[in-house]
Amino acid sequence: MLNIILFGPPGAGKGTQSQQLKEKYNLTYLSTGDILREEMAAETEIGKKVKDIISKGGLVSDEIVVSIIRGRVEANQKSAGFLFDGFPRTVRQAEMLDGIMNEFSLKINAVLSLEVPEEILINRMIERGKTSGRADDNIDSIKHRFVEYNEKTKPVLAYYEKQGNLKGIDGVGKVEDIFATLCNEIDKISKK
Ligand code: AP5
Ligand code: MG
């Protein structure tokens, strides 16, 4: 089984690269951002709870996202592997994910971290905001997403560095070139 975390700041290209990665490696794709947006669109209890937080660019509680992830991992244990996008986003989430992986006798094989300078990220998201309909693709929410990222999410990198699982990937350039670099890393890992 191949379990990968695609890590990166807002707008780094996690969603874009995941679309191709999940196809190529036949992975169960778990994007907490996409799942939460589905909950909001369906106006579920969770959706109603997270709507304001997400539109302002804040982080949803660890309990909500971890319980979503646990449910999806439990339901897909026969999968060829998992591709996590936008999760874990706090050190506590990373610790809880380790707990879930242990519970199902699984492990994280790699954390691939897309690295892109903040100015480029802001431009990408402002540009996308013209058509995306995402409530958080506006300058105020984007700024707050970076505050949350720098304070709460960046420390997750050190957590995986310690585990020896972290690999930085240059996330600037053509989508297909970045995809090739990611595949190269994954192929190295799966041969181990
Ligand atoms: P989430 O949906 O995860 O959003 P995000 O991390 O802010 O990142 P994005 O989805 O905006 O960017 P991306 O890295 O996927 O890049 P993309 O491929 O789209 O989370 C949203 C919210 O949900 C959070 O703020 C939080 O409130 C909540 N949430 C989610 N998970 C949570 C968790 N675990 N804990 C707590 N709260 C959570 O690309 C961006 C743009 O750039 C696109 O327009 C794309 O076309 C373009 N692009 C991509 N690659 C390139 C390239 N190489 N060159 C030029 N343009 C490119
Ligand atoms: Mg995304």
pLDDT tens for each residue of 91-115: 999 999 999 999 999 999 999 999 9
Q: How many residues does the chain have?
A: 192
pLDDT at 58 over 80: yes
State if residue 47 touches ligand 1 by the CB under 6 angstroms criterion: no
CA distance 9 to 130: 20
pLDDT band at 74 (very low <50, low <70, confident <90, very high): very high
**Mutate which of 6, 7, 16, 114 for ligand 1 pocket (most atoms within 8 A of beta carbon):** 16
Q: Ligand 1 centroid to 109 CA: how many Å?
A: 22
pTM of the model: 0.98
Predicted pLDDT at 192:
74
Predicted pLDDT at 191:
81
Predicted pLDDT at 73:
98
Predicted pLDDT at 2:
95
State if residue 72 touches ligand 1 by the CB under 6 angstroms criterion: no
State if residue 81 touches ligand 1 by the CB under 6 angstroms criterion: no
Q: In what order do the strands lie in the sheet with 110-115?
A: 28-31, 82-85, 4-7, 110-115, 166-170
Burial of residue 66 (number of CB atoms within 10 Å: 0-12, 13-18, 19+): buried
Contact 169, 101 (CB under 8 A): no
pLDDT at 183 over 90: yes
Q: Ligand 1 centroid to 15 CA: how many Å?
A: 6
State if residue 89 touches ligand 1 by the CB under 6 angstroms criterion: yes
Three-class secondary structure of residue 126 per DSSP: helix
Phi/psi at 112 (nearest 5 deg)?
-100, 120
**Model confidence pLDDT, tens digit, residues 143-176:** 999 999 999 999 999 999 999 999 999 999 999 9
Question: In this structure, is the dihedral angle defined by the CA atoms of residues 7, 117, 145 and 158, taken in order, positive or negative?
Answer: positive
Beta-carbon-side half-sphere exposure of residue 183 (alpha carbons within 13 Å): 15
What are the Cα distances from residue 19, in Å, to 40, 54, 111, 146?
A: 22, 22, 17, 24
